[in-house]
Amino acid sequence: MPSVRTGDFDCHYEDDDFSDPWVESETVLIQHGFGRNGRYWTSWVPYLAGHYRVIRRDMRAHGGSTDTGPDYEWSVDGLVADLVAFLDALGLSRVHYVGESVGGPTGIALAVAHPERLASLTLVSGVLRLDEPVQKVLGAGYPDFATAIRELGPGGYVSRGPEPDDPAARAERAWHRAEWDRANGYALEGLARLTPHVEVEPLLPEVRVPTLILAPADSALTPLRDQITMREKIPDARIEIFEGHGHNFYPEEPERCTAAIRRFVEGTA
């Protein structure tokens, strides 16, 4: 499992490339969202890695990446700086960036600050803002999101609720719990404190990178109206709406999602 020193932490990543070895492949960089890690994108790899180098990067304190202790202050600028350091460490001058959930605003901010590093930008359930109604959902009955993470722990937070009767559903829940528990609890609590301040709408008109939005129709965290706002305000952005799907639709639709990305990326060449 490779890792690379990026700034003040060791960043774990998965690197898959099954394209023709005599061809220099373009790179698709997949950035997961809150609490997750690159393993959540395993189902996408067979559809993409035959055509591109596919890198799944674990955010600091998530998955196999290390952290720098409880005093670290999360910020969108810091998330962008971590990404730039990662690209530099791997010698990647330009990538096709895929950002899920909070990986979305990170990608938007990266596209504005460093457009030369992105060949394209794909937002998957991309967050526009995490305002009071969304914070109430994230709080799961606790005073706020950060308190819920602290009281339940990462794995407890993602697996809260009644235990499913179906054995397959129980196994899936156990897997999610184990993967979230690979994230550092105090780090997630700190990241949760950042979420009410995430607001990237003012940046949208400044995005000058080809942009694709993969939008769930029924997400409480990233409402369809916000997805459409991104499509309207990012110049020449394209959108594909996934009807009947909630926030975490991407593992359920790997073939459709990756086909949309391949069409989009090939159209930017």
> Is-contact 77 20, C-beta < 8 A?
no
Residues with Cβ < 8 Å from 238, sequence gap 6 or more? 211, 212, 213, 231, 264
Residues 24-79: tens digit of each pLDDT: 899 999 999 999 999 999 999 999 999 999 999 999 999 999 999 999 999 999 99
Backbone angles phi, psi at 32, to 5 degrees: -70, 175
Determine the Cα–Cα distance for residues 97 and 225; give it in Å rounded to an integer: 23
Q: What is the dihedral of CA 128, 129, 130, 131, to 10 degrees?
A: -150
- With cut-offs at 50, 70 and 90, classify the pLDDT of residue 269: low
Residues 142-197: tens digit of each pLDDT: 999 999 999 999 999 999 999 999 999 999 999 999 999 999 999 999 999 999 99
- How far is CA 106 from each of CA 9, 59, 99, 112, 206, rounded to the nearest angstrom? 18, 11, 8, 10, 14
Its pTM stands at 0.96
pLDDT in the model for residue 267 = 87
Identify the DSSP state of 129.
B
Backbone angles phi, psi at 233, to 5 degrees: -95, -20
Superfamily name with CATH number, domain 3-131+199-268:
Alpha/Beta hydrolase fold, catalytic domain (3.40.50.1820)
What percent of the chain has a predicted confidence (pLDDT) above 90?
A: 95
